[in-house]
Each structure stands twice: as structure tokens, then as C-alpha cells.
Amino acid sequence: MQEKKFNKLPKHIGYIIDGNGRWAKSRGLPRSMGHSAGLKTLKKIIKLSFELGIRYVSIYAFSTENWNRPDSEIQGLIDLFKKYLKGNSFVKDYPNTKLNIMGDYTKFPKELVDAANKTIEMTKFETQFVLNLGINYSGKDEIVMAVNSIIKDGLTEVTRDVIDNYLYTKGQPEPDFIIRTSGEQRLSNFMMWQAAYSELYFPDTLWPDFNKKELYKALKEFEKRNRRFGSIKEEG
């Protein structure tokens, strides 16, 4: 059992992992090395988040706009996604964790789609932790997808709950804390519906340099935030 380090923790944390390219450039390295370093950081930070007891973690790893990057960079990222999802590595890295992919991952090469499907299948009965991995993800597209599915199902009127139930994050609490590294202060189409009340945190640190100390600093900041949801009292 972990000692209690924080009085209050997010239930669901989102990471917009930004700054890999700049990290590599500042060292005179190719961008692909920034992404490899970013993946190492990602594995550590996801593990730490789960160990702290944060049950839901969402990652923005590849947006629908990222297809505009050079082919070689896209291929490098696809290779990393494949490695990450292949075989038993996901299950070993994150025991008791369900993999949930946000985004139309069928647009990736077959080998990646197969690896993803296999891991989703292997982890589908896990209930302790959930990792939402955004690849070929767009928050606005997610809402459009939800609305189209609702229409297909013959509904003629919706509520917030109905829309919630058609999103990738169906059944999950909304992210109460979103961290975007590298000093950029935008959501860039990440969880556009779910982030309505999220606390946002924008450290200047480039993603590959984000570490345990930085995470704890972020969580200390979250502890101080007073989440009122438009009311005058903080939610318990």
C-alpha cells in the first residue's frame, strides 16, 4: 500500500505529451529520438499515475492532424505504437489495466490494428485501471461520431448522459486534471466534451523531461485547485 502523499487526487488524468521534437532539436538529435525518449517517459508516468491510485489515464499520442507530418516521422511513430501494443508488453507494463483506444485506429497499418485488437481483447475484463490511448484522435470528431451513432440508433432527442454514453470514455469519470507539457496552453482538440470542467496545467517542461518530481508538483497544484463547477462550494 502506498503512503498517502496527497489529500486529493484526480480520478482521471489526461496527458497531452508535447515537446518531443523540441527536446530532440535542442540536443541536435532527429525528431524520432525525441519520440523514443517521450515513450520512455510515458511508460514511467502512466505507471506512477496508476501506482498513486489514479484509475483512469488518457493519453493524446497522435491527433488526426498529425498525419500532416513527414512520412518518416509518422512511420517512426507507428513503429513505436506497434512495439508498445504488441505481444504481452502492455499487460506486463500495466497489470490489471484495460486498454481503450480513442480514435479510429483502423486507419493505421494492419499490423498495428491487429496488435491493438489483440491487446484490447486480452485486457477487456480488467476493471482496476483504464488507459485511454488517443491515436488518430480528434475530440470534435469523437462528438460527431457519437451524434451519428445516436441518429443511427433512432434517437430523436439527446441529453448529456446520452452523449456521454456514445463517447470513447463511456462509463468513465471525466478527466478532472489535464496536463500539457512544453508550455503550450491549448487543448488542441483533446477530449472536447469531457474536458468541460477539467483543471488545466501547463508546465514548461518538454515531455521527455517530465518526471516523478514534475508529476508530484502538478498533483500538488491540483490539490490546491478549488473545483466549484459554477457553484460556490467545492465538490467533495
| Cβ neighbours of 193 (radius 10 Å) | 17
Touching ligand FPP, residues 89-148 (CB under 6 A) = 133
Report the Cα 10 to chain-centroid distance in Å: 14
Rounded CA separation 106/112 (Å): 9
Q: Can you tell me which residue has the cell 498525419? A: 67
Touching ligand FPP, residues 155-194 (CB under 6 A) = 182
Catalytic residue list contains 18: yes
Rounded CA separation 50/54 (Å): 5
Cell numbers given for 117: 485488437
Q: Which residues pair with 177 in a beta bridge?
A: 13, 199
Residue 175 DSSP code? P
Find the shortest distance in angstroms from Cβ 16 to ligand FPP. 8
Q: Is the dihedral of CA 22, 25, 26, 27 positive or negative?
A: positive
Question: Which of 39, 178, 195, 215: binder of ligand FPP (CB under 6 A)?
Answer: 39
| Residue 44 engages ligand FPP in binding (rule: CB under 6 A) | no
Catalytic residue list contains 114: no
Question: Which of 9, 12, 15, 35: binder of ligand FPP (CB under 6 A)?
Answer: 35
Nearer to ligand FPP, 86 or 225 (CB): 86
| Residue 22 engages ligand FPP in binding (rule: CB under 6 A) | yes
Measured from each CB, the residue nearest to ligand FPP is: 21
List residues binding ligand FPP (CB under 6 A). 17-22, 35, 38-39, 42, 59, 61, 66, 77, 80-81, 84, 133, 182
Question: Which residues are marked as active site?
Answer: 18, 66
